[in-house]
Amino acid sequence: MEIGMVGLGRMGLNMTRRLVRGGHRVVAFNRSPGPVQEAERDGAVGVHTLAELVERLTPPRTVWLMVPAGAVTTQMLTDVTPLLARGDTVVDGGNANYRDSQRRAAALADHGLHFLDAGVSGGIWGLQIGFCLMVGGEEPVYRRLEPALRSLAPEEGYALVGPHGAGHYTKMVHNAIEYGMLQAIGEGFELLQASGFPLDLPAIAELWNHGSVVRSWLMELAQRALAADPALESIRGYVEDSGEGRWAVAESIERAVPLPVITLALQTRFRSRQEDSFSARVIAALRQQFGGHVVREG
C-alpha cells in the first residue's frame, strides 16, 4: 500500500525503511532535506513540500505524522488538512496527549477525513526488531491500514486498542510504566555499586537475564551499557522526560488512581537536572540551625 510519511527523525526514518522493505510505496517529507535524501536512498519517494506529498499519493490517501507533539503537530495538521480530500486518513504517530487526539479526530471528521492515533514504541531498535503500535480510532480505517501496520511491527506487535484517543492514552501509560522500571533498575545497580563487594555489574545484568524474574529487554540494555562503560563515567546523570509521565501523573490525580512509584520516578528525573537544589540547601541550613550540624561550604 501507499503511505505518506511526514517527519523523518529517528523514528520516522526507520519506519519509512521498514515500510519500504515490506514492499510498500512511501512518499517521504521532512522540513530539512537531509533525511529526505536518506529516505530516497532507501527506496522511498522523496518530496520537499506537503502539497507534493499529497499529489504523489493515490486516493484514498494515508498521511502518517511522526513529528513532535504539541504545536508542531497542530501546525502540520493545519497545513495538510486543506490539501486532503474526503475519505483520506491522517495517522498521528507522535507522543500526543490523548485529549488532543480526541479533538483532532473530531475536527478532521468535519472535513470528511479519518484519523488514527498511534502510540509507537521501539526507539532506535525499531528498524531491527519492529515497532509496537497501539492504535486508536475506527476499525474499518484500522483494517485498511493493517498491511502497513503488519510491516512496521513484530509479530503480534500491533493492535486496535480502542476508539479515538485510546492509542495515545495507552502509550501514555506505557511510558509511565517505563519511568518506574527504569528508576528501579537504576536504583538497584547503584546499591550494587555501593555494596563494598568487587561486583562485576555487567556480569550481574547478564546473569539476571537468564531465568530471573527481572529478566527483560531493559536489563539486556543495562548489560550492554555497563559492559561498554562499567562506571558510566562518560554519562552525566541528567534525565529528561518526554512529557507523558507528567500527563500520566495528572491523569492519576484527576481519576484518583494512586501512582506512587511512577510519580516518584518522575520527580526523581526533575531532581537529576539540578546541580545543587535549593531545597537541599534549605534542609542543610535548618539542620545547622536546630542541631548545630556541620554544613559544607558552597
pTM of the shown model: 0.94
pLDDT given for residue 17 in this prediction: 98
- 244 catalytic? Reply is no
Contacts of 277 (CB under 8 A, 6+ apart): 271
φ, ψ for residue 114, nearest 5 deg: -90, 160
pLDDT given for residue 263 in this prediction: 97
Q: Which residues of the chain are modeled with pLDDT < 50?
A: none
Q: Specify the domain boundaries for CATH 3.40.50.720 within the chain.
A: 2-163
The catalytic position among 38, 52, 146, 178 is 178
In the chain, the DSSP E strands lie at 2-6, 25-29, 45-47, 62-65, 89-92, 114-121, 132-137, 158-162
The cell 537544589 sits on which residue? Answer: 277
- 256 vs 10: CA distance, rounded Å: 36
| Topology adopted by domain 171-280 | N-(1-d-carboxylethyl)-l-norvaline Dehydrogenase; domain 2 (1.10.1040)
Helix ranges restricted to H, 97-158: 98-109, 126-129, 139-152
Counted residue by residue, the chain has a size of 298
Q: Specify the domain boundaries for CATH 1.10.1040.10 within the chain.
A: 171-280
Answer yes or no: are the C-beta atoms of 19 and 5 closer than 8 Å.
yes
Answer yes or no: are the C-beta atoms of 209 and 185 closer than 8 Å.
no
The catalytic position among 171, 240, 244, 251 is 171
Does 60 sit behind a cis peptide bond, omega within 30 degrees of 0 on the bond before it?
Answer: yes
Among candidate residues 98, 19, 88, the one with its CA nearest the CA of residue 50:
88
Among candidate residues 54, 130, 65, the one with its CA nearest the CA of residue 91:
65
- 155 catalytic? Reply is no
Answer yes or no: are the C-beta atoms of 84 and 61 closer than 8 Å.
yes
Q: Phi/psi class of residue 292: alpha, beta or left (left: φ > 0; alpha: ψ in -120 to 50)?
A: left
CATH superfamily of 2-163: NAD(P)-binding Rossmann-like Domain (3.40.50.720)
φ, ψ for residue 178, nearest 5 deg: -60, -40
